[in-house]
Structure 1
Amino acid sequence: MNTDTPIPKTIDEYIAQQPEAFRETLTELRAIIKGLVPQATETISYRVPCFKYLYMLVGMGVNKNSCSMYVMSPPLLKQMQSELKQHKNIKVAGSTIHFTLRLPLPLELIQQIVLARVAENELLYRQKRRV
């Protein structure tokens, strides 16, 4: 993102600021996340769109050549290595998944990740409430 670009206040603003080639994928990824977790709140954190359910759930963004989903759980992606390797049109770096533009998003993989993150957040919430 260009540092001269105003900091977006909403996910709509963020998407509108991105090059045309990224907007459809970002919009679709947002819809998938909100469809799975309608109670998640949308926010901008560190200049990128994030979804919060009890705690930060996942985020999304762009880089030079792809759209990305920030999973925010390196252990989860480590657990899912075999599933991730089955998808040739994604790249994984740390706890971020980069999607190749103009190719269909791996819906089942995204669903699996988002629902696993919901479970992680709910477990953490229950553990903290016991203290």
Structure 2
Amino acid sequence: MGTIDDYLATLDADDAAAITRVYDLARAEEPSAEQGIGYGMPALTYRGKALLSVMRAKAHFGVYPFSPAAIVRALPLLGGVDRAKGTVRFRPGQPLPDAAVRALVAARRDQIDDQVGSRH
């Protein structure tokens, strides 16, 4: 699969807008994030590692922070949001709270920084 932009081009306008919103929030939280691939999915990457992916499924959107620990850290902001070990799901018309997206990105970024070494 190609870049985030390539993926968004395959979606209808409403779905693309819902996914773009999450990516825009993620980029605002970590401006150095770049388009790349994470586990075969279009994703934002940070310091060469997968930061966040957002994909459309049949009945929901899946947000993948590539870290169960990131989801655990964001739990206080995910009340009532469907989630699993590595995925946070939201439905069309029911976006994730901005603070929850920022928390997921911050948690994953911090984890990458710990793995790679302190930020430059």
Among residues 111, 116, 120, which one is paired with 1:125 in the alignment?
A: 116
Contact 1:10 1:44 in 2 (8 A): yes
Give the alignment's TM-score, normalised by structure 1: 0.77
**2:50 matched to 1:59?**
no
Distance of 1:117 and 1:45 partners within structure 2: 13
How do residues 34-45 of structure 1 correspond to structure 2 at under 5 angstroms?
A: 34-45=27-38
Give the alignment's TM-score, normalised by structure 2: 0.84
Distance of 1:80 and 1:45 partners within structure 2: 20
SS in 2 for 1:18: coil
Corresponding residue for residue 73 of structure 1: 67
Identity %: 23
Distance of 2:6 and 2:71 partners within structure 1: 29
Among residues 92, 96, 106, which one is paired with 2:97 in the alignment?
A: 106
How many residue pairs get aligned? The number is 117
Displacement of 1:37 after TM fit? 1.0
Distance of 2:41 and 2:67 partners within structure 1: 17
Alignment root-mean-square deviation, CA: 2.0
Contact 1:11 1:42 in 2 (8 A): yes
Q: Runs of 4+ in structure 1 displaced over 6 angstroms? A: none
Displacement of 1:35 after TM fit? 1.2
Displacement of 1:42 after TM fit? 0.6
Contact 1:22 1:66 in 2 (8 A): no
